Structure 1
Amino acid sequence: MASKTSELKGIQWLFPLLAEKNVNYKKEFLAGLVTFLTMAYIIVVNPNILSKTGMDAGALVTATCLGAAVGCFLMGFIANLPFALASGMGLNAFFAFTVVLKGGVSWEVALTAVFVEGIIFILLTMFKVREIVVNSIPTSMKHAVTAGIGIFIAFVGFSGAGLVVANESTKVSMGHFTPTVVIAAIGLFIIGVLDKKGVKGSILYGIVVSSILAWIFSIIDPEAAAKLGISLPKGIFKYESIAPIAGKLDFSVFADVKGLSSFFVVVCTFLFVDFFDTVGTLIGVCSKANMLDEEGNVPNVGRALLADAIGTTAGAALGVSTVTTYVESSTGVLAGGRTGWTAITTGVLFLLSMFFSPIFIAIPACATAPALIYVGYLMLSSLKEIDLHDVTDGIPAFITATTMALTYSIGDGLTLGILSYVIINLIYNAVAPKEDRKPVSWVMIALAILFIIKLVLM
Structure 2
Amino acid sequence: MGWIHNTNLKIAQSPVGRYFRLDGSGHPKERKGSYFFTEIRAGLATFFAMAYIISVNASITSQSGGTCVCPPTSTDLCDTDTEYLLCLQEVNRDLVTATAAIAALTSFCMGLFANMPIALAPGMGLNAYFAYTVVGYHGSGLVPYEVALTAVFVEGFVFVALTILGIRQWLARAIPASIKLSTGVGIGLYLTIIGLTYSAGIGAITGAQATPLELAGCAPEFLTEEGVCPNSEKMRNPTMWLGIFLGGFLTICLMMYRVKGAIIFGILLVSIISWPRPTPVTYFPYTPLGNSSFDFFKKVVAFHPIGKILAVQRWDVSGYGGQFGLAFITFLYVDILDCTGTLYSMARFCGAIDERTQDFEGSAVAYLVDAFGISIGSLMGSPPVTAYIESGAGISEGGKTGLTAMCSGLAFFISIFFAPIFASIPPWATGCTLIIVGSLMAQAAKDINWRYMGDAIPAFLTIAVMPFTYSIAYGLIVGILSYTLINTIVYVIEKASGGRIVPPNKHEKEPWTWRIPGGVLPGWLTRAARGKKDFWKGDEQTTGIEEVVERKSEASSGAGRVGEAEVVKGERPEKAA
TM-score, normalization: structure 1? 0.88
Identity of aligned residues (%): 38
Give the letter aligned to residue 243 of structure 2.
A
Tell me which amino acid in the other structure corresponds to 1:302. A
The equivalent of 2:212 in structure 1 is 171
1:219 aligns to 2:265 (yes or no):
no
SS at match of 1:304: helix
Distance 1:312 1:423 in 2: 33
Query: In the alignment, what sits opposite 2:549?
Result: none
- Write out aligned runs for 1:54-203 (5 A): 54-55=65-66, 56-101=91-136, 102-159=140-197, 160-175=201-216, 176-177=234-235, 178-186=237-245, 187-203=247-263
Query: 1:54-112 CA deviation, whole Å, 9 max, x = no partner?
Result: 23111111111111111112211221101000011111111111111243411111111
3-state SS in 1 of match to 2:382: coil
How big is each residue's C-alpha offset from its partner over 1:288-346, in whole Å with a ceiling of 9 and x where there is no partner?
23221122333322111111101101101122110111111111111111111111111
CA contact (8 A) 1:87 1:323 kept: yes
CA contact (8 A) 1:246 1:318 kept: yes
Are positions 1:356 and 2:422 aligned together?
no
Structure 1 segments unaligned to the other structure (5+ residues)? 1-11, 445-458
2:359 equivalent to 1:309: no
Say if 2:393 and 2:433, in contact at 8 Å, map to a contact too. yes
SS at match of 2:214: strand
Taking the aligned partners of 1:43 and 1:439, their CA distance within structure 2 comes to: 44
Q: Evaluate the alpha carbon distance shift between residue 168 and residue 135 of structure 1 in structure 2; reply closer, same or farther with a 3 A threshold.
A: same
Shift of 1:198: 1.3
Q: RMSD of the TM alignment (CA)? A: 2.4
Structure 1 position 388, deviation (Å) = 1.2
Specify whether residues 319 and 140 from structure 1 end up closer, same or farther in structure 2 by C-alpha distance, changes over 3 A only. same
Runs ≥4 residues deviating over 4 A:
222-225, 227-232, 432-444
TM alignment of 1:237-248, pairs within 5 A: 237-248=301-312
TM-score, normalising length from structure 2?
Answer: 0.70
1:263 matched to 2:324? The reply is: yes
Corresponding residue to 2:339 among 278, 282, 290: 278
* Aligned residues of 2:455 and 2:483 also touching (Cα < 8 A): yes
- Is 1:329–2:329 an aligned residue pair? no
| Partners of 2:283 and 2:341 in 1: CA distance | 38
Q: Deviations over 1:125-166 (max 9, x none)?
A: 011110110110122211101110111101111112111112
Encode CA deviations 1:270-304: one digit per residue, 9 max, x unaligned: 11111111011112222223221122333322111
**1:17/1:76 contact within 8 Å kept:** no
Alpha-carbon distance, 1:227 to partner: 8.7
Query: What is the letter of the counterpart of residue 331 of structure 2?
Result: F
- Tell me the secondary structure at the aligned position of residue 121 of structure 2: strand
Aligned residues: 427
AA at the equivalent of 1:345: C
Structure 1 Cα separation of the partners of residues 280 and 191 of structure 2: 30
Say if 1:372 and 1:224 are closer, same or farther in 2 by CA, change over 3 A: closer
| Deviates further, 418-427 or 116-125 | 418-427
* Alpha-carbon contact 1:17-1:77 (below 8 Å) kept: no
Q: CA deviation at 1:236?
A: 0.4
Tell me, in whole angstroms, the C-alpha distance in 1 between the residues paired with 2:39 and 2:283. Answer: 38
Structure 1 residues 95 and 443: alpha-carbon distance in aligned structure 2, compared to 1, 3 A threshold: farther
Cα 1:355–1:407, aligned 2, differ >3 Å: closer, same or farther?
same
Matched, 1:42 2:53: yes
Deviations 1:162-181 (A, max 9, x none): 11112121121111221122
CA contact (8 A) 1:17 1:78 kept: no
More displaced 10-residue stretch of structure 1: 332-341 or 225-234: 225-234
Please report how far the alpha carbon of residue 442 of structure 1 lies from its aligned counterpart in structure 2 after TM superposition: 5.6
Structure 1 contact 75–307 (Cα < 8 Å) conserved = yes
Task: Flag the 1:201–1:169 CA change in 2: closer, same or farther, 3 A.
Answer: same
Amino acid at match of 1:169: A
C-alpha contact (below 8 Å) 1:115/1:312 kept by paired residues: yes
> Which residue, 222, 234, 240 being the options, matches 2:298?
234
Deviates more, 1:384-393 or 1:107-116: 384-393
Q: Is contact 1:44-1:361 (8 Å) kept?
A: yes
**Structure 1 stretch 335-344 or stretch 19-28: which is displaced more?**
19-28
Which residue in the other structure is 2:87 paired with?
none
Quote the residue 1:27 is aligned against: 38
Conserved? CA contact 1:142–1:287, under 8 Å: no
**Taking structure 1 as reference, are residues 145 and 215 closer, same or farther at Cα in structure 2, changes over 3 Å only?**
same
